[in-house]
Amino acid sequence: MLTLDRLVIEQGDFRLTADLRVEKGRIVAVLGPSGAGKSTLLDVIAGFLPPSAGRVLWQGKDLGPLAPGDRPLSMLFQDNNLFPHLTAAQNVGLGLRPDLRLSPKDWQAVEAALARVGLAGLGDRVPAALSGGQRGRVALARMLLRGRPLMLLDEPFAALGPALKSEMLALVANLARETGATVLLVTHDPQDARAIAEETVIVADGRTHPPRPTAALLADPPPALRAYLG
């Protein structure tokens, strides 16, 4: 379970609060207008930014003292965070060792992860030789290889066309079900939430609202969401 315990995030005039729980194994969308603090919330959970008050807990353990790399999570960004001079296999291998000193068994695991996301035989290609969807799959393979129980996705497929985005979201959902991972997916598109998220968190007006079932939420949106959706 992910718990945001009386969390307060302050940056200049910006202020966001969060006091909620996300059950283990759930896929939860984080929906709200631009500038509301969705990405900032993920940055605090990941440890890139410190909260002004409150705690982030995973399975009851306070993550505050842990550096980002030591937290039980992986994060996927919109640019996929791939190194352009490394091959797809090497970019995935970074999930195991930043120095890429991998054993033959490790490289086998890298190839298996690439195959799982539909990139078998493409491990020797650099990101520039891959399509946008393929680059997203490389990043997902790295996340899969890390095997962390919490997956944070910050609009990683926003630049993709509707069909390809739908395909990538389905892949995320399948990987989450197979691994039992908990997923937080930041998006500005309610259709993304409708596609794969069992529950949705609304971030608006300085508050992170507790998760609610996605279908019911979108069918009868509260005022904050209704104002955003127009």
Tell me the domain boundaries of the chain: 82-147
Model confidence band, residue 79 (pLDDT cutoffs 50, 70, 90): confident
Tokens of 59: 């399975």
Residues in contact with 131: Cβ distance below 8 Å, sequence separation at least 6, in sequence order: none
Q: What is the mean pLDDT of residues 182-201?
A: 94
Model confidence band, residue 15 (pLDDT cutoffs 50, 70, 90): very high
What is the C-alpha separation between 33 and 228, in angstroms, rounded?
A: 6
What is the C-alpha separation between 80 and 133, in angstroms, rounded?
A: 10
| pLDDT of 140 higher than 80 | yes
Cα–Cα distances in angstroms (integers) from residue 68 to residues 56, 63, 73, 92, 133, in the given order? 12, 9, 8, 18, 26
Model confidence band, residue 228 (pLDDT cutoffs 50, 70, 90): confident
pLDDT in tens, 88-139: 999 999 999 999 999 999 999 999 999 988 899 999 999 999 988 899 899 9
% of the chain exceeding 70 in pLDDT: 100
Instruction: Give residue 17's pLDDT.
Output: 97
Q: Which amino acid would we find at residue 197? A: A
Task: Please provide the average confidence, as pLDDT, over all residues in the chain.
Answer: 92
Instruction: Give residue 77's pLDDT.
Output: 83
Apex 65 CA angle, 59 and 67, nearest 5:
95
